[in-house]
Structure 1
Amino acid sequence: MSSPQPRPLALATGGLLALAVAMGIGRFVYTPILPAMAQALGLGKGQAGIIAGANFAGYLAGALIASTSALPGPRRAWLLGGLCASAATTAAMALASSVAAMSVLRFAGGLASAFVLVFASALVLERLAQAGRAGLSAVLFAGVGVGILASSGVVSSLAAWAWDWRSQWLACGLVSALVIPAVAVLVPPAGEARAAGSDAPAGPADRRLRLLIPAYGLFGAGYVVTATFLVAIVRDSAAARPLEPYVWAVVGLAVLPSIWVWNRIAARLGLYAAFALACLVEAAGVALSVTGWALGPVVGAVLLGGTFMSITALGLIAARSLAAANPRRAVALMTVAFSIGQIVGPIFAGIAFDLTGSFVVPSLAAAAALILAAGLVARLGRPLAA
C-alpha cells in the first residue's frame, strides 16, 4: 500500500523548514557572525573570503553530486542526512580557530546545503505539482528568508547579552537540529527507490543557454559580495554602524515575499525580462550599500533580499525551459557557473579590501557583473513557456 500523500501546505512548510536550516542558517549565518569572529581571531578580509569561498566550493560539489543518478537510496534520506550534516557543521564552527579548520567545516556545510536544496526542491515541487498546487512553491523558497531572520535574531540577541561568536555558532546549530524532526514529519516517505532524477538521454539544448549560463555565473559573483560582507560593511561605516543588529534581518524579511512578487512580474513581462530587471535592481542595492549614506546598507539589504532568491529561481526555470529533453544537465551547468561566481566573488572582495581598505571597489565590480548579466539575458527575448 502506498504512503498517504501529505497535505500540500504541510509539505510546502516542511520544505520551508528544510531550506531555513540548510540555506538561511547553514549557508548564510556566516554573514552576521563574521565581524565578531574576525575581530576575535584577527582574521583579515582576505582570510574571511577564503572561508566563504570554501563554503561555496562545497555547494558546487554537493550540487553536482546530487544532480547525478549515482546516489543510492531514497531522496528523502539524503535530504534528512543533509539537514543533520548542516546542523552539525554549523555547531562545529564553535570549536574551530584556524582558517584551515573553518574552511573544511564550511566546505562540508556547503555540500550539505546543496543536498538539502536539491532534494527538498525535487521532493516538494514534484509532489506539489502532482497535487495541482504548484503555486505553493513560493512557501518553499521563503524558507531561506525565514532562516535568515531566525539566525539574525539568535546572533543579535546573543551579542546583546555579551555571548561570544562561538556561542552564536553553537546556538544556530542547536536551533537547526531542533527543526529536523518537524521536517521528517512534514515530508514523509513516498515509496521512492532512488535518489537521483531521470536518466533520460540528453536532447538538443537551446543555443540561448550559451548566454543564460554565463549570465547566471555573473549573478553568482554579483550577489555574493554583499551577501557575504554586508554586516562587515555596516560595521566598518561610522554612519551605518548603529544598524548592525538589524540589517541582516532586513535581508530575511525582504526574501519572504520576493518569489511571489517576481513570479507576478515574470508573468507580466516575461521570464527573461524579469530576470534582467531583478539583476538591475540588485545591482543598485549592491552599489548603494557602499555609498557612505547611512541608510545605504539598509536599502541595499532590501534590494538584495528582494531579488537574489528570485533570480535563482527564475534562472533555473529558464534553463529547464531551454533544455526540456534533459533539464537536469542544464541545471547542473547553471549550478557550476553560479558556484564559480560565488567562489570567486568573496575571495576577490576580501583581497580587494585588504589592498584598498574598503569594500567600494569589490562592491562596484559586483554591481557591474550584475548589470552585465542583465544585458546578456535581455538579449534572449521572451521566454518559452515556463
Structure 2
Amino acid sequence: MMTAFKSRALPTITNEVAIACIGLYCMAVVMGYGRFLFTATLPDIMVQLSLSTTIAGWLASINYIGYFIGALIAMFVPQRSTWQAMMLWTIVSVVTTMLLVVPDMSLNVWYVIRLLAGIASGVAMILSSSFVIQSLSPARRSVLSAVHYAGIGVGISASAILTWWLLVLGYHFDVIWLVAGLSSLPLLWLLWAIKPKDPYLADSNHPSPRLSIYQTYLSFKQALYEAIAGHYKAIALLSASYVLAGFGYITSATFLPVMAAQRLTMQTYAGLIIWLVVGIFATLSNPLWGALAKRIGEIKTLMGLTVLQALGMCLPIWFDGAVGLYGNAAILGLTFVGMVSMTLTLIKNINPAYSNLLMGLATLAYALGQFLGPLVTVALAGEDGNFNAGLLVAAIGLIIGLILLLLFRRQSTTTA
C-alpha cells in the first residue's frame, strides 16, 4: 500500500514538452527571482533601507560574484550527478529568496544571502540547461530548448508584476520576496518528478566512487585538458567576448528601474513598467532567435544581437526621456537571453562530451563581466547618479566583443 501511495504521489515525468516547461519554471525561479527580482525591488529596497547607489551596486556585484562561484562549481559536477546538484542548488535558491523577509538584518547578512543566491543561480542555470537539453531528442531540441530559456524572460516579467501588485497593495520588498519564494516551492516537486532513472546511481551495491579533493582536482584538470584540446583559441575568443557581453548588458539589467525613477518622475511605477517590458520581450525573443539561428547559424545571430544591444545601450544617452528608456528595455529584453543561449550552444557544440564544463567556463566569463559592470557604473555615476557614462562604456565593451566574435568565426572556419 505504501509503495502504491508513493508511486501516485511522486509520478515520473518523461514527456519532452513537460520537461522543457519544467526547465522554463526552473529558469524563472533561479534567474528571474534569484537574480533579477533584486532589480525590480531595488528602488524600494534603497528607500526602505536608506541605501546609497554605491551600496546598491555592491549588493548587485556580490550576487554576480556568487554567480561566478556557481559557474565554477558547475564545472566540477560530473555529468552523472547533474540532476542531484541541480536539485540541491535550486533548493538553496528558493530558501535565499524567502530569507529576505527577515526584518532588520545587517548589511553583512544581506551580502551573504545575495552571495549564496548568486551561487545557486549560477549552478542551477547551467545544470538545468545541461539536464533539460540532454533530455530532449535531437529533432525537438532546438524548439524546446527555446522554451527552456524563455524562463528567464518569464521570471523577469513575473518579478515585475509581483512587485507592482504588492507595492500597490501597500507591501514592501520583504513581502515581495516571501511571496516569490512561496510561489517557487512547487518547482521542487516537479524537479523530483523528472529525476532520471539511473541504475548505477540508484543501486546501493554499486556506489559511486568517493574521490579525495586531490583526486577530484586531477580528474577536473584532465577533463579540462580534454575539453579544450585543439580548441583553445576558439574557446578563448568566445569566452572573452562573453565577458564583454556580461559587462555590456548588466548596467541596464541592474539599474534600469532606478534610471526610470530618476527620469520619469511623473509616471507612477515607471521602473516596474519598464522592467516588465524587458521581461515580455525576453520571453518572446528566444523562439525568434532560435528560428533565425536555424537559417543563418548561431554565430551570425549572436553577432547581430551584439550590435543591436550596443545600439540599445546608447538610446538613453541620445534620448533623455521615456523613448530612450523604453527603447533600451525592449532591446535589452530582445537580446540578452538570445545572446546567452547562442553562446552556450556555440561553446557546448565545440566539445559536447564536456558540455557542463564548457558551459561553466563560459558562464564564469559572463559572471566576471557582470561583477565588474555595476562597480564601473556606480564609479562613473558619481554622487549625482548619472548612468550615461556607464551606458556608453557598456556599448563600447559590446563593440569590442563583436570584434572578438568575428575572430572566433574566422578561427572556427579555419579549424573546420
Which residue among 68, 75, 84 is the counterpart of 2:82?
75
| Correspondence list, 1:194-233, <5 A | 201-202=226-227, 203-233=229-259
Specify whether residues 328 and 75 from structure 1 end up closer, same or farther in structure 2 by C-alpha distance, changes over 3 A only.
closer
What is the rounded CA distance, in whole Å, between the counterparts of 2:287 and 2:89 in structure 1? Answer: 27
1:207 partner SS: helix
Check if 1:370 corresponds to 2:398.
yes
What is the rounded CA distance, in whole Å, between the counterparts of 2:131 and 2:408 in structure 1? Answer: 30
What is the rounded CA distance, in whole Å, between the counterparts of 2:237 and 2:86 in structure 1? Answer: 32
Q: CA deviation at 1:249?
A: 1.2
What is the rounded CA distance, in whole Å, between the counterparts of 1:324 and 1:182 in structure 2? Answer: 27
2:263 partner SS: coil
| Correspondence list, 1:99-110, <5 A | 99-110=107-118
What is the rounded CA distance, in whole Å, between the counterparts of 1:333 and 1:23 in structure 2? Answer: 18
Specify whether residues 163 and 46 from structure 1 end up closer, same or farther in structure 2 by C-alpha distance, changes over 3 A only.
same
Q: Which residue of 1 aligns with 2:338?
A: 310
Q: CA deviation at 1:167?
A: 1.4
| Correspondence list, 1:5-44, <5 A | 6-44=14-52
What is the rounded CA distance, in whole Å, between the counterparts of 1:335 and 1:244 in structure 2? Answer: 28
Q: CA deviation at 1:152?
A: 1.2
What is the rounded CA distance, in whole Å, between the counterparts of 1:285 and 1:300 in structure 2? Answer: 5
Q: CA deviation at 1:70?
A: 6.5
What is the rounded CA distance, in whole Å, between the counterparts of 1:144 and 1:240 in structure 2? Answer: 30
| Correspondence list, 1:232-243, <5 A | 232-238=258-264, 241-242=267-268, 243=270
How much is the aligned-residue C-alpha RMSD, in angstroms? 2.8
Specify whether residues 377 and 240 from structure 1 end up closer, same or farther in structure 2 by C-alpha distance, changes over 3 A only.
farther
Which residue among 300, 312, 337 is the counterpart of 2:328?
300
Q: CA deviation at 1:257?
A: 2.4
What is the rounded CA distance, in whole Å, between the counterparts of 1:283 and 1:230 in structure 2? Answer: 15
8 Å contact 1:51–1:99 — kept in the other structure? no
Which residue among 280, 290, 303 is the counterpart of 1:276?
303
Of residues 204-213 and 127-136 in structure 1, the stretch that sits farther from structure 2 once superposed is: 127-136
2:255 partner SS: helix
Gaps of 5+ in 1: none
TM-score by length of structure 1 reads: 0.90
Counterpart AA for 2:20? A
8 Å contact 2:245–2:401 — kept in the other structure? yes
Which residue among 169, 176, 201 is the counterpart of 1:168?
176
2:346 partner SS: helix
8 Å contact 1:6–1:188 — kept in the other structure? no
Which residue among 274, 278, 299 is the counterpart of 1:251?
278
Q: CA deviation at 1:332?
A: 3.2
What is the rounded CA distance, in whole Å, between the counterparts of 1:238 and 1:315 in structure 2? Answer: 35
Q: CA deviation at 1:33?
A: 0.3
Specify whether residues 214 and 22 from structure 1 end up closer, same or farther in structure 2 by C-alpha distance, changes over 3 A only.
same
Give per-residue Cα distances to partners, 1:127-174, cap 9 Å, x unaligned.
103675442101111111111111211100011111112211222122
Counterpart AA for 2:395? A
TM-score by length of structure 2 reads: 0.84
Give per-residue Cα distances to partners, 1:79-137, cap 9 Å, x unaligned.
22222211111111222543322111011001111221122112111110367544210
What is the rounded CA distance, in whole Å, between the counterparts of 2:335 and 2:176 in structure 1? Answer: 27
Check if 1:286 corresponds to 2:313.
yes
What is the rounded CA distance, in whole Å, between the counterparts of 2:245 and 2:371 in structure 1? Answer: 12
| Greater fraction of residues in helix | 2
Computing the radius of gyration from Cα coordinates, the structure with the larger value is 2
